[in-house]
Structure 1
Amino acid sequence: MYLLEMAPKFLVALIILLIYVKLSGKSQIAPMSQLDQVGSMVIGALVGGALLNSNVSTYQSAGLVIIWAGLLLLVRFIKSKNSRLRDAIDGEPIQLVKNGHLISDNFIKANLPVRDFETLVNIQGICAFSELKQVWYELNGSLTIIKKGDKDIAVLVIENGAISEDNLEQLHKSETWLKHEIKKEGYDDIKDIFCAEWFDNKLLVYPYDDVRKKSKAHQS
Protein backbone atom coordinates (compact mmCIF):
# COMPACT_ATOMS: atom_id res chain seq x y z
CA MET A 1 0.00 0.00 0.00
CA TYR A 2 2.80 2.38 0.96
CA LEU A 3 4.62 1.71 -2.32
CA LEU A 4 1.46 2.39 -4.31
CA GLU A 5 1.00 5.72 -2.50
CA MET A 6 4.62 6.71 -3.19
CA ALA A 7 4.60 5.71 -6.87
CA PRO A 8 3.01 8.97 -8.14
CA LYS A 9 5.64 10.99 -6.23
CA PHE A 10 8.46 9.02 -7.81
CA LEU A 11 6.96 9.43 -11.27
CA VAL A 12 6.37 13.18 -10.93
CA ALA A 13 9.83 13.76 -9.43
CA LEU A 14 11.46 11.81 -12.25
CA ILE A 15 9.59 13.77 -14.93
CA ILE A 16 10.52 17.13 -13.33
CA LEU A 17 14.19 16.16 -13.02
CA LEU A 18 14.31 14.99 -16.64
CA ILE A 19 12.80 18.30 -17.78
CA TYR A 20 15.24 20.26 -15.60
CA VAL A 21 18.26 18.40 -16.96
CA LYS A 22 16.99 18.94 -20.50
CA LEU A 23 16.46 22.67 -19.99
CA SER A 24 19.68 23.27 -18.07
CA GLY A 25 21.80 21.61 -20.74
CA LYS A 26 24.67 19.15 -20.62
CA SER A 27 26.71 21.53 -18.46
CA GLN A 28 24.99 19.90 -15.50
CA ILE A 29 27.04 16.74 -16.10
CA ALA A 30 30.21 18.64 -17.01
CA PRO A 31 32.46 20.41 -14.46
CA MET A 32 30.01 22.73 -12.67
CA SER A 33 30.24 26.10 -10.97
CA GLN A 34 29.71 26.36 -7.21
CA LEU A 35 26.15 27.61 -7.74
CA ASP A 36 25.35 24.64 -10.00
CA GLN A 37 26.74 22.20 -7.46
CA VAL A 38 24.83 23.68 -4.52
CA GLY A 39 21.65 24.03 -6.60
CA SER A 40 21.78 20.40 -7.70
CA MET A 41 22.36 19.24 -4.13
CA VAL A 42 19.34 21.22 -2.93
CA ILE A 43 17.19 19.67 -5.68
CA GLY A 44 18.34 16.23 -4.56
CA ALA A 45 17.52 17.06 -0.95
CA LEU A 46 14.08 18.41 -1.87
CA VAL A 47 13.25 15.35 -3.95
CA GLY A 48 14.52 12.93 -1.31
CA GLY A 49 12.78 14.72 1.55
CA ALA A 50 9.48 14.97 -0.31
CA LEU A 51 9.55 11.32 -1.37
CA LEU A 52 10.24 10.04 2.15
CA ASN A 53 7.77 12.32 3.92
CA SER A 54 4.30 10.82 3.71
CA ASN A 55 2.78 14.10 4.94
CA VAL A 56 3.91 15.87 1.76
CA SER A 57 1.56 15.32 -1.18
CA THR A 58 2.60 14.68 -4.77
CA TYR A 59 1.56 18.20 -5.77
CA GLN A 60 3.44 19.79 -2.87
CA SER A 61 6.64 17.89 -3.62
CA ALA A 62 6.33 18.75 -7.31
CA GLY A 63 5.77 22.41 -6.47
CA LEU A 64 8.88 22.61 -4.28
CA VAL A 65 11.12 21.09 -6.96
CA ILE A 66 9.60 23.20 -9.75
CA ILE A 67 10.11 26.46 -7.81
CA TRP A 68 13.75 25.71 -7.00
CA ALA A 69 14.57 24.39 -10.48
CA GLY A 70 12.87 27.43 -11.99
CA LEU A 71 14.99 29.79 -9.87
CA LEU A 72 18.18 28.01 -10.95
CA LEU A 73 17.19 28.22 -14.62
CA LEU A 74 16.34 31.91 -14.23
CA VAL A 75 19.72 32.67 -12.68
CA ARG A 76 21.45 30.67 -15.42
CA PHE A 77 19.58 32.67 -18.09
CA ILE A 78 20.42 36.00 -16.48
CA LYS A 79 24.10 35.01 -16.23
CA SER A 80 24.17 34.17 -19.93
CA LYS A 81 23.02 37.72 -20.76
CA ASN A 82 25.29 39.68 -18.41
CA SER A 83 28.98 38.83 -18.05
CA ARG A 84 29.53 41.11 -15.05
CA LEU A 85 26.62 39.56 -13.17
CA ARG A 86 27.90 36.10 -14.05
CA ASP A 87 31.31 36.96 -12.62
CA ALA A 88 29.67 38.39 -9.50
CA ILE A 89 27.68 35.18 -8.94
CA ASP A 90 30.18 32.52 -10.01
CA GLY A 91 33.40 34.42 -9.41
CA GLU A 92 36.30 34.68 -11.83
CA PRO A 93 39.27 32.46 -12.65
CA ILE A 94 42.28 33.32 -10.50
CA GLN A 95 45.64 33.72 -12.21
CA LEU A 96 48.29 31.82 -10.26
CA VAL A 97 51.22 32.21 -12.65
CA LYS A 98 51.86 35.25 -14.84
CA ASN A 99 54.77 35.40 -17.27
CA GLY A 100 56.51 32.61 -15.37
CA HIS A 101 56.11 34.20 -11.91
CA LEU A 102 54.04 32.58 -9.17
CA ILE A 103 51.59 35.10 -7.67
CA SER A 104 51.67 34.14 -3.99
CA ASP A 105 48.78 36.44 -2.99
CA ASN A 106 46.50 34.69 -5.47
CA PHE A 107 47.36 31.28 -4.03
CA ILE A 108 46.07 32.59 -0.71
CA LYS A 109 42.99 34.04 -2.42
CA ALA A 110 42.29 30.68 -4.09
CA ASN A 111 42.94 28.83 -0.81
CA LEU A 112 45.26 26.53 -2.75
CA PRO A 113 48.38 25.21 -0.96
CA VAL A 114 51.45 25.23 -3.19
CA ARG A 115 51.92 21.50 -2.55
CA ASP A 116 48.46 20.77 -3.99
CA PHE A 117 49.28 23.06 -6.92
CA GLU A 118 52.47 21.10 -7.55
CA THR A 119 50.47 17.85 -7.60
CA LEU A 120 47.96 19.28 -10.09
CA VAL A 121 50.66 20.44 -12.53
CA ASN A 122 52.64 17.21 -12.15
CA ILE A 123 49.52 15.24 -13.12
CA GLN A 124 49.53 17.16 -16.40
CA GLY A 125 53.10 16.09 -17.13
CA ILE A 126 54.87 19.25 -15.97
CA CYS A 127 57.98 18.52 -13.93
CA ALA A 128 58.84 21.98 -12.56
CA PHE A 129 57.26 25.38 -12.06
CA SER A 130 59.94 26.82 -14.32
CA GLU A 131 58.08 25.28 -17.32
CA LEU A 132 54.98 27.39 -16.61
CA LYS A 133 54.15 30.60 -18.43
CA GLN A 134 50.53 31.30 -17.45
CA VAL A 135 48.24 29.37 -15.12
CA TRP A 136 44.61 30.06 -14.13
CA TYR A 137 42.68 28.38 -11.34
CA GLU A 138 39.24 27.85 -12.87
CA LEU A 139 35.86 28.06 -11.13
CA ASN A 140 35.46 24.26 -11.12
CA GLY A 141 38.85 23.69 -9.46
CA SER A 142 40.77 22.72 -12.60
CA LEU A 143 43.86 24.45 -13.96
CA THR A 144 44.32 26.08 -17.34
CA ILE A 145 48.03 25.90 -18.11
CA ILE A 146 50.17 27.54 -20.79
CA LYS A 147 53.76 26.38 -20.87
CA LYS A 148 56.69 28.48 -21.95
CA GLY A 149 56.95 28.36 -25.72
CA ASP A 150 53.19 27.80 -26.18
CA LYS A 151 50.87 30.40 -27.66
CA ASP A 152 48.56 32.23 -25.28
CA ILE A 153 45.04 30.88 -25.15
CA ALA A 154 42.20 32.64 -26.94
CA VAL A 155 40.19 35.21 -24.97
CA LEU A 156 36.44 35.48 -25.50
CA VAL A 157 35.37 39.08 -26.11
CA ILE A 158 31.78 38.32 -27.15
CA GLU A 159 29.59 35.63 -25.56
CA ASN A 160 26.03 34.92 -26.66
CA GLY A 161 25.62 38.26 -28.40
CA ALA A 162 26.98 40.31 -25.48
CA ILE A 163 30.37 41.93 -24.91
CA SER A 164 32.57 40.35 -22.24
CA GLU A 165 33.70 43.62 -20.71
CA ASP A 166 36.21 42.14 -18.25
CA ASN A 167 38.01 40.19 -20.98
CA LEU A 168 38.02 43.26 -23.19
CA GLU A 169 39.64 45.27 -20.40
CA GLN A 170 42.18 42.50 -19.92
CA LEU A 171 43.20 42.91 -23.57
CA HIS A 172 43.32 46.72 -23.18
CA LYS A 173 40.76 47.05 -25.97
CA SER A 174 37.69 49.30 -26.09
CA GLU A 175 34.08 48.62 -26.95
CA THR A 176 34.41 51.09 -29.83
CA TRP A 177 37.34 49.11 -31.21
CA LEU A 178 35.39 45.86 -30.98
CA LYS A 179 32.34 47.26 -32.78
CA HIS A 180 34.62 48.64 -35.51
CA GLU A 181 36.27 45.22 -35.96
CA ILE A 182 32.89 43.52 -36.13
CA LYS A 183 31.78 45.88 -38.88
CA LYS A 184 34.98 45.13 -40.80
CA GLU A 185 33.90 41.47 -40.73
CA GLY A 186 30.56 42.44 -42.29
CA TYR A 187 28.31 42.46 -39.21
CA ASP A 188 26.43 45.53 -37.99
CA ASP A 189 25.37 44.45 -34.52
CA ILE A 190 27.11 42.70 -31.62
CA LYS A 191 23.86 40.77 -31.09
CA ASP A 192 24.47 39.04 -34.43
CA ILE A 193 27.59 37.38 -33.02
CA PHE A 194 27.34 34.12 -31.10
CA CYS A 195 30.91 34.51 -29.89
CA ALA A 196 34.19 36.13 -30.86
CA GLU A 197 37.69 35.48 -29.54
CA TRP A 198 41.02 37.25 -29.68
CA PHE A 199 43.77 34.80 -30.59
CA ASP A 200 47.26 35.28 -31.96
CA ASN A 201 46.59 39.02 -32.45
CA LYS A 202 43.49 38.30 -34.54
CA LEU A 203 39.78 38.61 -33.91
CA LEU A 204 37.93 35.42 -34.80
CA VAL A 205 34.19 35.95 -35.23
CA TYR A 206 31.48 33.28 -35.07
CA PRO A 207 28.00 34.62 -35.91
CA TYR A 208 24.70 32.94 -35.11
CA ASP A 209 23.62 30.35 -37.69
CA ASP A 210 20.72 32.38 -39.07
CA VAL A 211 22.94 35.47 -39.42
CA ARG A 212 25.60 33.46 -41.24
CA LYS A 213 23.01 31.99 -43.62
CA LYS A 214 21.60 35.44 -44.40
CA SER A 215 25.10 36.77 -45.01
CA LYS A 216 25.88 33.93 -47.45
CA ALA A 217 22.58 34.42 -49.25
CA HIS A 218 23.26 38.13 -49.60
CA GLN A 219 26.75 37.51 -50.97
CA SER A 220 25.46 35.04 -53.54
Structure 2
Amino acid sequence: MITVYLWVILKLLIGFSLIITYLNLTGRNQIAMMSAVDLVGNFILGGVVGGILYNDKLPILHYIALLILCILFMALFNYLSRKIPDLRKRTIGEPITLIRDGVFLIDNFNENASRIDLKDVATALRMQNIFSFDNIDFAQIETTGHVSVIMKEEAKQPARFVIHRGEIFDKELEILQRSEKWLMDTLAGLGLSDLQQIFLAEWVGDHLLVVTTDGRTHGSRK
Protein backbone atom coordinates (compact mmCIF):
# COMPACT_ATOMS: atom_id res chain seq x y z
CA MET A 1 0.00 0.00 0.00
CA ILE A 2 2.83 2.40 0.89
CA THR A 3 4.44 1.64 -2.47
CA VAL A 4 1.24 2.69 -4.25
CA TYR A 5 1.17 6.04 -2.46
CA LEU A 6 4.84 6.65 -3.13
CA TRP A 7 4.24 5.93 -6.81
CA VAL A 8 1.36 8.46 -6.88
CA ILE A 9 3.51 11.07 -5.13
CA LEU A 10 6.30 10.52 -7.69
CA LYS A 11 3.87 11.03 -10.57
CA LEU A 12 2.53 14.19 -8.91
CA LEU A 13 6.05 15.58 -8.45
CA ILE A 14 6.92 14.89 -12.09
CA GLY A 15 3.67 16.45 -13.33
CA PHE A 16 4.00 19.53 -11.11
CA SER A 17 7.66 20.02 -12.03
CA LEU A 18 7.08 19.84 -15.79
CA ILE A 19 3.99 22.06 -15.78
CA ILE A 20 5.46 24.70 -13.44
CA THR A 21 8.69 24.76 -15.46
CA TYR A 22 6.68 25.34 -18.66
CA LEU A 23 4.62 28.14 -17.07
CA ASN A 24 7.73 29.88 -15.72
CA LEU A 25 9.65 29.55 -19.00
CA THR A 26 6.75 31.04 -20.98
CA GLY A 27 5.96 33.71 -18.36
CA ARG A 28 2.40 32.47 -17.95
CA ASN A 29 2.41 32.02 -14.21
CA GLN A 30 -0.65 34.22 -13.65
CA ILE A 31 -4.19 33.83 -14.99
CA ALA A 32 -4.14 37.34 -16.50
CA MET A 33 -1.14 36.39 -18.64
CA MET A 34 -2.80 33.33 -20.14
CA SER A 35 -4.47 33.10 -23.53
CA ALA A 36 -7.36 30.79 -24.39
CA VAL A 37 -4.77 28.31 -25.69
CA ASP A 38 -3.01 28.29 -22.31
CA LEU A 39 -6.22 27.82 -20.35
CA VAL A 40 -7.45 24.93 -22.51
CA GLY A 41 -3.97 23.40 -22.55
CA ASN A 42 -3.77 23.57 -18.76
CA PHE A 43 -7.08 21.73 -18.49
CA ILE A 44 -5.68 19.05 -20.78
CA LEU A 45 -2.46 18.81 -18.77
CA GLY A 46 -4.48 18.57 -15.57
CA GLY A 47 -6.56 15.80 -17.14
CA VAL A 48 -3.43 13.92 -18.20
CA VAL A 49 -1.92 14.13 -14.71
CA GLY A 50 -5.20 13.31 -12.94
CA GLY A 51 -6.07 10.45 -15.26
CA ILE A 52 -2.69 8.75 -14.95
CA LEU A 53 -2.19 9.10 -11.18
CA TYR A 54 -4.05 5.90 -10.43
CA ASN A 55 -3.18 4.09 -13.65
CA ASP A 56 -0.43 1.63 -12.78
CA LYS A 57 -0.40 0.11 -16.26
CA LEU A 58 1.22 3.10 -17.97
CA PRO A 59 5.04 3.12 -17.66
CA ILE A 60 6.52 6.20 -16.03
CA LEU A 61 8.53 7.06 -19.15
CA HIS A 62 5.36 7.03 -21.26
CA TYR A 63 3.72 9.33 -18.72
CA ILE A 64 6.63 11.80 -18.94
CA ALA A 65 6.65 11.58 -22.75
CA LEU A 66 2.90 12.29 -22.88
CA LEU A 67 3.25 15.35 -20.65
CA ILE A 68 6.17 16.69 -22.71
CA LEU A 69 4.21 16.10 -25.93
CA CYS A 70 1.24 18.10 -24.59
CA ILE A 71 3.55 20.92 -23.45
CA LEU A 72 5.32 21.05 -26.82
CA PHE A 73 1.97 21.16 -28.62
CA MET A 74 0.85 24.09 -26.43
CA ALA A 75 4.12 25.92 -27.05
CA LEU A 76 3.85 25.36 -30.82
CA PHE A 77 0.22 26.49 -30.95
CA ASN A 78 1.04 29.62 -28.93
CA TYR A 79 3.96 30.39 -31.25
CA LEU A 80 1.81 29.99 -34.37
CA SER A 81 -1.00 32.06 -32.88
CA ARG A 82 1.42 34.97 -32.50
CA LYS A 83 2.87 34.65 -35.97
CA ILE A 84 -0.37 34.12 -37.95
CA PRO A 85 -2.72 37.15 -37.62
CA ASP A 86 -5.96 35.23 -38.34
CA LEU A 87 -5.05 32.52 -35.84
CA ARG A 88 -4.09 35.13 -33.27
CA LYS A 89 -7.49 36.80 -33.63
CA ARG A 90 -9.26 33.50 -32.98
CA THR A 91 -7.09 32.25 -30.11
CA ILE A 92 -5.87 35.38 -28.32
CA GLY A 93 -8.43 37.90 -29.51
CA GLU A 94 -8.08 41.63 -30.03
CA PRO A 95 -8.68 44.66 -27.80
CA ILE A 96 -12.20 46.11 -28.04
CA THR A 97 -12.36 49.90 -28.03
CA LEU A 98 -15.49 51.10 -26.23
CA ILE A 99 -14.97 54.87 -26.20
CA ARG A 100 -12.80 56.97 -28.48
CA ASP A 101 -12.56 60.79 -28.30
CA GLY A 102 -15.40 60.73 -25.77
CA VAL A 103 -17.76 58.95 -28.18
CA PHE A 104 -19.23 55.53 -27.42
CA LEU A 105 -18.53 53.11 -30.29
CA ILE A 106 -21.95 51.45 -30.35
CA ASP A 107 -21.03 49.23 -33.32
CA ASN A 108 -18.25 47.64 -31.22
CA PHE A 109 -20.73 47.04 -28.42
CA ASN A 110 -23.14 45.36 -30.83
CA GLU A 111 -20.51 43.28 -32.64
CA ASN A 112 -19.05 42.01 -29.36
CA ALA A 113 -22.23 41.69 -27.34
CA SER A 114 -21.23 38.24 -26.07
CA ARG A 115 -17.93 39.58 -24.69
CA ILE A 116 -19.07 42.92 -23.27
CA ASP A 117 -21.15 43.24 -20.13
CA LEU A 118 -21.63 46.92 -19.30
CA LYS A 119 -21.97 46.13 -15.59
CA ASP A 120 -18.64 44.32 -15.63
CA VAL A 121 -17.07 47.31 -17.41
CA ALA A 122 -18.54 49.65 -14.78
CA THR A 123 -17.12 47.41 -12.03
CA ALA A 124 -13.66 47.49 -13.66
CA LEU A 125 -13.88 51.30 -13.80
CA ARG A 126 -14.86 51.56 -10.14
CA MET A 127 -11.79 49.48 -9.25
CA GLN A 128 -9.79 52.33 -10.83
CA ASN A 129 -11.72 54.93 -8.79
CA ILE A 130 -13.79 55.97 -11.82
CA PHE A 131 -17.46 55.99 -10.83
CA SER A 132 -19.05 57.33 -14.00
CA PHE A 133 -18.67 57.20 -17.78
CA ASP A 134 -18.66 60.99 -17.73
CA ASN A 135 -15.34 62.62 -18.70
CA ILE A 136 -13.87 59.43 -20.20
CA ASP A 137 -11.98 60.17 -23.39
CA PHE A 138 -10.86 56.62 -24.21
CA ALA A 139 -11.78 53.18 -22.88
CA GLN A 140 -10.75 49.78 -24.18
CA ILE A 141 -11.13 46.15 -23.07
CA GLU A 142 -7.75 44.48 -23.43
CA THR A 143 -7.26 40.85 -24.42
CA THR A 144 -6.58 40.06 -20.74
CA GLY A 145 -10.05 41.34 -19.82
CA HIS A 146 -8.74 44.49 -18.12
CA VAL A 147 -10.19 47.88 -19.03
CA SER A 148 -7.75 50.63 -20.02
CA VAL A 149 -9.02 54.17 -19.50
CA ILE A 150 -7.84 57.68 -20.37
CA MET A 151 -9.74 60.62 -18.91
CA LYS A 152 -10.44 63.75 -20.95
CA GLU A 153 -8.24 65.97 -18.80
CA GLU A 154 -5.28 63.70 -19.57
CA ALA A 155 -5.72 64.54 -23.26
CA LYS A 156 -3.45 61.82 -24.55
CA GLN A 157 -4.37 58.84 -26.69
CA PRO A 158 -2.72 55.45 -25.99
CA ALA A 159 0.38 54.54 -27.94
CA ARG A 160 -0.14 52.01 -30.73
CA PHE A 161 2.35 49.51 -32.12
CA VAL A 162 2.66 49.86 -35.90
CA ILE A 163 5.69 47.58 -36.41
CA HIS A 164 7.11 44.70 -34.42
CA ARG A 165 10.16 42.72 -35.55
CA GLY A 166 9.80 44.08 -39.08
CA GLU A 167 6.07 43.28 -39.39
CA ILE A 168 3.72 46.17 -40.19
CA PHE A 169 0.37 46.15 -38.36
CA ASP A 170 -2.06 47.35 -41.02
CA LYS A 171 -5.05 47.43 -38.67
CA GLU A 172 -3.27 49.77 -36.27
CA LEU A 173 -2.41 52.10 -39.16
CA GLU A 174 -6.06 52.03 -40.20
CA ILE A 175 -7.15 53.07 -36.69
CA LEU A 176 -4.59 55.88 -36.76
CA GLN A 177 -5.87 56.88 -40.22
CA ARG A 178 -2.37 56.58 -41.61
CA SER A 179 -1.08 54.75 -44.67
CA GLU A 180 1.79 52.34 -45.12
CA LYS A 181 3.36 54.89 -47.48
CA TRP A 182 3.30 57.50 -44.69
CA LEU A 183 4.95 55.02 -42.37
CA MET A 184 7.70 54.11 -44.84
CA ASP A 185 8.31 57.79 -45.66
CA THR A 186 8.60 58.62 -41.95
CA LEU A 187 11.02 55.75 -41.42
CA ALA A 188 13.05 56.84 -44.46
CA GLY A 189 13.31 60.30 -42.91
CA LEU A 190 14.94 58.63 -39.91
CA GLY A 191 17.31 56.68 -42.14
CA LEU A 192 15.51 53.41 -41.41
CA SER A 193 14.27 52.11 -44.74
CA ASP A 194 15.00 48.46 -43.91
CA LEU A 195 12.13 46.96 -41.86
CA GLN A 196 14.41 44.18 -40.65
CA GLN A 197 16.34 46.85 -38.70
CA ILE A 198 13.24 47.68 -36.69
CA PHE A 199 12.44 45.85 -33.48
CA LEU A 200 9.52 48.08 -32.52
CA ALA A 201 7.77 51.20 -33.80
CA GLU A 202 4.86 52.87 -32.05
CA TRP A 203 2.84 56.01 -32.57
CA VAL A 204 2.95 58.05 -29.37
CA GLY A 205 0.28 60.72 -29.66
CA ASP A 206 2.16 63.14 -31.91
CA HIS A 207 5.29 61.30 -33.04
CA LEU A 208 6.69 57.95 -34.09
CA LEU A 209 9.05 56.22 -31.69
CA VAL A 210 11.28 53.56 -33.27
CA VAL A 211 13.49 51.01 -31.53
CA THR A 212 16.04 49.34 -33.79
CA THR A 213 17.50 45.87 -33.35
CA ASP A 214 20.61 47.35 -31.72
CA GLY A 215 18.44 48.71 -28.89
CA ARG A 216 18.71 52.37 -29.92
CA THR A 217 15.64 54.63 -30.07
CA HIS A 218 14.75 57.09 -32.80
CA GLY A 219 11.92 59.62 -32.60
CA SER A 220 10.04 61.81 -35.03
CA ARG A 221 7.38 64.43 -34.37
CA LYS A 222 6.24 64.79 -37.96
Range into which the TM-score falls when normalised by the shorter chain: 0.7 to 0.9
1:131-182 deviations in whole A, cap 9, x for unaligned?
2111111222110111112200100111233222221222222333323333
CA contact (8 A) 2:163 2:199 kept: yes
Segments of structure 1 that go 5 or more residues without pairing to the other structure are: 216-220
Query: 3-state SS of the aligned residue for 2:153?
Result: coil
Correspondent of 2:152 among 144, 148, 168: 148
Q: CA deviation at 1:15?
A: 4.0
CA contact (8 A) 1:100 1:133 kept: yes
| Distance of 1:182 and 1:35 partners within structure 2 | 35
Pair 1:138-2:142 in alignment: yes
Give 2:30's aligned residue.
29
User: 1:129 corresponds to which letter in structure 2?
Assistant: F
1:111-134 deviations in whole A, cap 9, x for unaligned?
333222222212211122112111
TM-score (ref. length: structure 2): 0.81
Give 1:173's aligned residue.
178
Query: 3-state SS of the aligned residue for 1:130?
Result: coil
TM-score (ref. length: structure 1): 0.82
Q: CA deviation at 1:105?
A: 4.5
1:95-124 deviations in whole A, cap 9, x for unaligned?
122222333453352433322222221221
Query: 3-state SS of the aligned residue for 2:144?
Result: coil
- Flag the 1:58–1:160 CA change in 2: closer, same or farther, 3 A: farther
User: 1:169 corresponds to which letter in structure 2?
Assistant: E
Correspondent of 1:16 among 15, 18, 32: 18
Q: As a proportion of its length, which structure holds more helix?
A: 1
Q: Report 1:159-170 matches (<5 A).
A: 159-170=164-175
Give 2:220's aligned residue.
none
Superposition CA RMSD, Å:
2.5
Give 2:96's aligned residue.
94
User: 2:179 corresponds to which letter in structure 1?
Assistant: S
| Distance of 2:21 and 2:44 partners within structure 1 | 16
| Distance of 1:7 and 1:132 partners within structure 2 | 54
CA contact (8 A) 2:36 2:91 kept: no
- Flag the 1:170–1:36 CA change in 2: closer, same or farther, 3 A: same
| Distance of 2:119 and 2:14 partners within structure 1 | 47
User: 2:175 corresponds to which letter in structure 1?
Assistant: Q
| Distance of 2:166 and 2:53 partners within structure 1 | 41
| Distance of 1:23 and 1:59 partners within structure 2 | 23
Correspondent of 1:42 among 41, 44, 48: 44
| Distance of 1:144 and 1:43 partners within structure 2 | 32
Q: How many residues align?
A: 211
